[in-house]
Structures are given as structure tokens and as C-alpha cells.
Amino acid sequence: MKKSAVDAVIRGLKRAGVSIVCYLPDSLFKELYPALDADPDIRTIRVTNEGEGAAICGGVFLSGKRAALVMENSGLRASVEPLARMGLGAGIPVVMLMSYRGELGENNWWAIPHGITMEPVLDALRIPYRVVREEEKIERAIADAYSWSYASYYHSAVALGGEVVR
Amino acid sequence: MKRFDCMKALAARLKDELVILSLGGSVDEWYNAAPHMREASLFQQQLGCVTPQAFGLAAGLPHRRIVSLDTDGGLLFNLGILATLGNEQPKNLLVVVWDNEQYLSIGGPPTHTAFGRVDLAAIARGAGVEDAYLVRTLDEFDAHCKAGLAAQKPYIVVAKVSGTVQPDIRRKHSDGREDKYIFVRHVEATEGITIMGPSEHN
């Protein structure tokens, strides 16, 4: 990611009031994670799998602080169980920011499943999402996701693809 | 050692804390063992989510003591949280694991702790949570709860309890959604904050 895109993500998170970010690092967001770690206004929590991160974000919601789960889109599959239980069972929302691995243009065979499954899994969980491939739309997309999740008390997602992450 | 007796001992030590607890029979037992903590307890039905949620709550409210009432099956579902706690070292989180060596809520098939090899407290210590103890008596349990509620680093008590549910106790009637509203309103009132506020227009 370009520094300007990293800065746009952090501006979006701050505009939404996020102070805690849970992440499991990936390669497309490689430049984002150290920037989050270095930001004095954001506490980062490194997790062992994205489902654990989703549950931690749910706990942060209950505290009144705002959290984000940042990950590769493969992490969505690892998060399905806690997302379904928290979102559909209790109305505890998690906002996710994920890299769009496996979309057209992908040249790694192992990433193809991520592209094929991401949008159907989001649809199966009835999670609204926005795919952003233009840097100038990142900040607004993140802020919009929080507005929606704090009106619906349900999960939402922003997937960054295209030239934003490549 | 009976879980219900342990709960009553722990409940007697709690006042301003917030509790996240696991599924199954422990829900109704905690509802009865700690009636003064009902609004301060989030009753969840999520294997593997309880301690991560409690840690998230602890991260968001660092001045408040958080108690996770987890289970052997629940913790085994996501052992990774122990490594996260080991690295993050929250100063305000007590984790109690009711280890009855079975999936009690579905009739009692054994968990991995039932065969004498798997020690959840030892796994926790290996993951970096130094204060992790396995207890078998009510006195030990109570002493560790006292220490854990005052600790300035993560504290885990794995309580070996029998696989029985306290008979003739009142069932909790609410579902997860109602429980969340009750808990959130309690956090709002006691913290003086707004978590689920009004919409722009009504």
C-alpha cells in the first residue's frame, strides 16, 4: 500500500472514533500494520486468529470504545462462527477492514479461494460491505461502515482491492 | 467440588466488577448464585468467545475489573487467547475456567481435559500467563479468586468441578439480545457513558 492509502485508512478509523484495532497481519496490508502500531491514538492488539479478534472487538464494543478488525479476507472465514453468534444471536457488532485477496488480477493460486468465498460469505451472514478500489473513497467508506453498524448493531465490512493494495 | 458452591464464593467477593460468562448450565447457576450481579453479567452462548470478549471489555475499560467465567470446552475451542493474554498482560482480568471435563450442556461427552493429560493451567503458564492455577478445593478456589481480583496482571483459575448442575434453581428467561441490552445499559449507567445512543431522528 502507498503511504497515502495507509494515511487514508487511519484517517477513516479516527473519523469513526476507533481507538482499538485487532489484527492478524497479511501481505497486502503490510504497510498498514506498523503504521497502526506507531499511531499514539490507536491501541493495536495482535491476535492468533481472526475469530478471536472478532470476539475481542465484540468485547470492546461492550465497553463503549470503538474497535476495528483488520485482516486479509481469508480471515472472514475464520471469523464466521463468532460473527454469527455475536451478530445474529446478541446484536453485538464488529466492523471489519479486509484486504481483497483473490480478485481479478490475483496471481497466487492459494489466494483464489479468498476471492471466490469473500462476497458469498458476507452475503450469507447478511453483512453489508463496500469494495473500495480508489484511494479517495477509503476514508468515507470506513466512516460509513461505523455509522451503519452503530445504527443496526450488526457487522459491516470494507474490502480494499485493486490498485489501493497493489 | 461443586461449581455452584464456587460461584457463591466468587459472587460474595464481587461488587462493581463486570462478568462475561459461558453457555450451558453455568448460566442458570450464575443467575442464582450471584443475583446482585445479574445486570453486570453478560450471558453468552458462544464456545471460544467468552474470554476474548472479556479481554476486549478489559481493554476498553482498563480501570474496571473484568471477570471471565469460561469453561474447559470453551477455552479449548480457542487456546490462542491464552497467548494473546500472555503478550498483552491485562491488569484487570480474572479468568475462571469451570473444568468439569465434559460438554455438560449436551449431555456430558468428555472434553480433552477428561483423560488426565491436558492441563489448562499449565497451557496458560506456557502461553505467558504466569498466574494460572489448577484448584480442586473450595478454599483454594476462594483464595485464588481473592488474589486474582487484586492482581495487576492476568490471573487464571482452572477449577476442577463435578459435572452436575444445581437442582431446582430458577431459569433465566431472557435471550442473548435482551441480555446484551441489559448489560450495555448497566455499563452505560455505571460508567456514565453512552454505548447505544439515540438515532439522528426519532
* Interface residues from chain B to A (CB-CB < 8 Å): 20, 42, 44-46, 48-49, 52-61, 78, 80-81, 83-84, 87-88, 176-177, 179-180, 183-184, 187-188, 191, 193-196, 199
Domain count, chain A: 1
* Higher per-residue pLDDT: B24 or B172: B172
Point out the residue among A59, A86, A150 whose CB comes nearest to the CB of B57: A59
Chosen CATH of B3-191 out of 3.30.479.10, 3.40.50.970, 3.40.50.300, 1.20.1090.10: 3.40.50.970
Please write the tens of the pLDDT for every residue from B21-64. 987 788 999 999 999 999 999 998 788 999 999 999 999 999 99
Domain that holds residue A9: 3-164
Closest residue of chain B to A48, computed from CA coordinates: B80
Which residues on A lie below 8 Å from B177 (Cβ)?
Answer: 89-91
Reference A23, options A46, A41, A1, A7; nearest CA is: A46
Q: Which pLDDT score is estimated for B121?
A: 98
Cβ pair B135, B141 in contact under 8 A: yes
Q: pLDDT by residue (tens digit) across B82-122?
A: 999 999 999 999 999 999 999 988 889 999 999 999 999 99
Q: Looking at residue A17, what is its pLDDT?
A: 98
**Cβ-based contacts of B88 with chain A (< 8 Å):** 45
Specify the pLDDT at position B202: 80
**pLDDT at site B114:** 97
In whole angstroms, give the CA distance from residue B123 to residue B76: 10
Residues of chain A with pLDDT under 50: none
Q: What are the chain A neighbours of B45 within 8 Å (beta carbons)?
A: 85, 89
ipTM of the complex: 0.97
Please report, for the domain that includes residue A74, its CATH number.
3.40.50.970
Judged against a pLDDT cut of 80, whether residue B140 lies above it is answered with yes
pLDDT value at residue A63: 98
Q: For chain B, which residues make up each domain, given as ranges? A: 3-191
Write down the pLDDT at residue B187: 98
- Closest Cα in chain B, distance from residue A166 (Å): 30
Report pLDDT for B47. 87
